[in-house]
A and B are shown apart, each in its own frame.
Chain A
């Protein structure tokens, strides 16, 4: 009977897909748009059909995860088509940030250690991206991104090797020193990094030929081009989250959580503590570098002042507020980041503070610092943890209410 149900589901999904494709072709103004919308709808329907298949989550978790990633990506990509340039830019900035948050969240959630230098690791990725593009303008963008990630991982290895061997707050302290030193490091290599002014990308990143017709050929930032940039960023973000979700669920991920909860027990069952910690730190550095490289791509330039110690602290705050060690927490943090400037401006306006005054310029620090302390003291699992608890409580309650009626 289950098999029959599955066949029925597959048949109806296929029918829906054909129907959607035909409707898109008929309704869309041009054939090209019709194909685009048709494909998007088909992916969405197929994805949802897969997601709702009963029992699949237990037997084929990877399939479910890919379907989920595809559906979210698909919907977001369609949305960028309708969003304004500013919204797309914010979306891309926040998405890139959520990759960084995911990396730090993984490090902390899995190994119980913390990095105060992920802003600087972002900077590593951002500058490697710009420097490489300036020296090898012809390299495809995907390759340049990978190079940035690799260098980020390498720097992570260098710093992580000594610090992760030690129990105690050594990694936090060392990454803090790295974050503080980063600006000095940049200006020591002035000829490469462009000094205080930073670097421009030689040409703005344009869509490949075969896709160009979808996006138009605008070049300046915050025009149609920002949609293309937002789309790449979203796809990369989707891939990063997909990989991380699998890592969380893998043997390595379980080993890391074991370390966080009880490192003596972990060692007893044969988990190598230093190696696992170093791996977690390298992954977190690589993710940060990827986020920074995407920022360079979105902004078409990179400035050293962006990657100050303050950014590292912002990253830490966002991870903690979103929820350490969870995937939704990183997304929540990214969204908060995308809108934090707007929110703080709104507060400034509402309270009638002088926007140029001392208090208004420090509002960011006061609010983020305060939230950091309050979250850690009263809701250490952040927003996603709190929502999860509330959700479970609700389910328990409804479960209890349902029982007597049986």
Chain B
């Protein structure tokens, strides 16, 4: 479980987040929605320690994540699949996974087998350079690389970006499965609000760094104003 309270982050004179408070519960998917520049990516980067907040607190269960280095936060069990997926193209599929398994407690081979079972296409391409994979395959690799370390929190930044609708639907289904079967806390940042709301339990809408809605996903999906003004969902 992640609890955020009064979080403010700025880049020089620009304030990216202004007093954001929200929480993400264990075993649930919390979608963070909003337009470009709403502060969604900054939120994830601050949780995983890449960005130092000006004020506010972030807690994972009972531990504060503020002022920790990103590598330590990762080692506490926060998996972060960054914007653009962060797959290392020069590495093979298996090397990417081995890198992800670096801090895992489970034996490497068991971890690999488990991921290849979850994502069979990665198993078929284990010796290929990751640069050769398609967008959807890269997203799977990025998620497998995060999951192999057995995180308790998974942060996903725009996983559907650049993917075909069918692939996106499949991906959302996989995220839902992973969350349920591993009892994960998932924070899913998406511009593609309709896809995210279909699987999310809870949704937070950001606008210019502020929380404008924080409710059960179904309520957000049903709110005409939110859909129109903040999520750009026009029927």
Judged by CB atoms under 8 Å, the answer to whether A and B touch is: no
* Interfacial residues, chain A to chain B (CB-CB below 8 A): none
